Amino acid sequence: MAEQQLGVLKALDVAKTQLYHFTAIVIAGMGFFTDAYDLFCVSLVTKLLGRLYYFNPLSEKPGSLPPHVAAAVNGVALCGTLAGQLFFGWLGDKLGRKKVYGITLIMMIVCSVASGLSFGNKAKGVMTTLCFFRFWLGFGIGGDYPLSATIMSEYANKKTRGAFIAAVFAMQGVGILAGGFVALAVSSIFDKKFPAPTYAVNRALSTPPQAHRWIYQTPKTALLKNYGDQLQENPDNRRSNR
């Protein structure tokens, strides 16, 4: 059995570059792409989360996440990544890397969707569920990191192994760029479709209701809307609050 495995590895080492090598690059590279996208895109979303859930009509500046909440939202996935690397690295040796790689991908997909659907009627509840799902998202990402690189190194031949692994790791940078591009594109489209006054003109309506529909169904929203209308009708009220 051991001799057969060694024979397979030697055959892969001397094999010519073929289509299955590029298939492995795409599969492992997309793992690194989604890892980087999921880990770093949240930093672009925290501004919006602050505007939606920590709005204060008496503040001179738009709402923002408290420092401890921002640290939790941004850092909890990295904690999950550390734990996931240790756990899935061990599990991959026990069950096989291909099988565990599929488990990590399913886990990442489910937790990514769940993070976008974080629920709660209050800011604390929404942030708690978001952190919960992002921890398990990071847990799956932690498993994907070592498995993607290992799978690629096993399939590559000796001559091109370094270049193939570098191509896989380069997809991480592409994922970070894609996260910024998507955020800018979506923000630009939303701004053109739902124009809103600046925060200085109307604090309440500077964030369009379409950004978070459920908040406009609460009594608090009606109060904020009335406050915004008063500011728009009488700018002197804005100066009196300073």
- For 139-159, the pLDDT digits (tens) are 999 988 888 878 777 777 777
Q: How confident is the model at residue 161 (pLDDT cuts 50, 70, 90)?
A: confident
Give the tokens for residue 158. 């000796």
Percent of the chain with pLDDT strictly greater than 90: 20
pLDDT, residue 237, reads 43
Domain that holds residue 149: 2-193
Instruction: Decide if pLDDT at 56 tops 60.
Output: yes
Q: How confident is the model at residue 9 (pLDDT cuts 50, 70, 90)?
A: low
pTM of this structure: 0.76
76 and 189 together in one domain: yes
CATH number for the domain spanning 23: value is 1.20.1250.20
**How far, CA to CA in Å, does 60 sit from each of 63, 195, 201, 216?**
9, 21, 12, 22
Give the tokens for residue 115. 């993070």
pLDDT, residue 14, reads 54
171 and 232 together in one domain: no
179 and 74 together in one domain: yes
Percent of the chain with pLDDT strictly greater than 70: 79
Q: Which of 22-31, 75-84, 96-105, 224-233 has the lowest mean pLDDT?
A: 224-233
103 and 214 together in one domain: no
204 and 188 together in one domain: no
User: Where is the domain boundary, 176, 193, 210?
Assistant: 193
179 and 224 together in one domain: no
19 and 48 together in one domain: yes
112 and 51 together in one domain: yes
33 and 67 together in one domain: yes
pLDDT, residue 218, reads 38
Instruction: Decide if pLDDT at 232 tops 50.
Output: no
Residue 197 to residue 194: CA distance in whole angstroms = 10
Q: Which of 8-12, 167-171, 237-241 has the lowest mean pLDDT?
A: 237-241
Q: Which of 53-57, 62-66, 88-92 has the lowest mean pLDDT?
A: 53-57
Give the tokens for residue 117. 């659907």
Instruction: Decide if pLDDT at 216 tops 50.
Output: no
108 and 205 together in one domain: no
What mean pLDDT do residues 31-39 have?
88
pLDDT, residue 236, reads 47
Name the DSSP letter for residue 55.
-
The alpha carbon of residue 155 and the mean position of all alpha carbons in its chain are separated, in whole angstroms, by 29
Q: Which helix (H) or strand (E) holds 145?
A: helix 123-155
Instruction: Decide if pLDDT at 76 tops 90.
Output: yes
CB 26 within 8 A of CB 151: no
Q: Nearest CA to 73 among 57, 89, 56, 53? A: 53
20 and 94 together in one domain: yes
User: Where is the domain boundary, 157, 178, 193?
Assistant: 193
What mean pLDDT do residues 116-139 have?
88
Letter for the amino acid at 227? Y
pLDDT tens readout for residues 172-184: 899 999 988 998 8
Mean pLDDT, all residues of the chain:
78
Query: How many structural domains does the chain have?
Result: 2
186 and 212 together in one domain: no
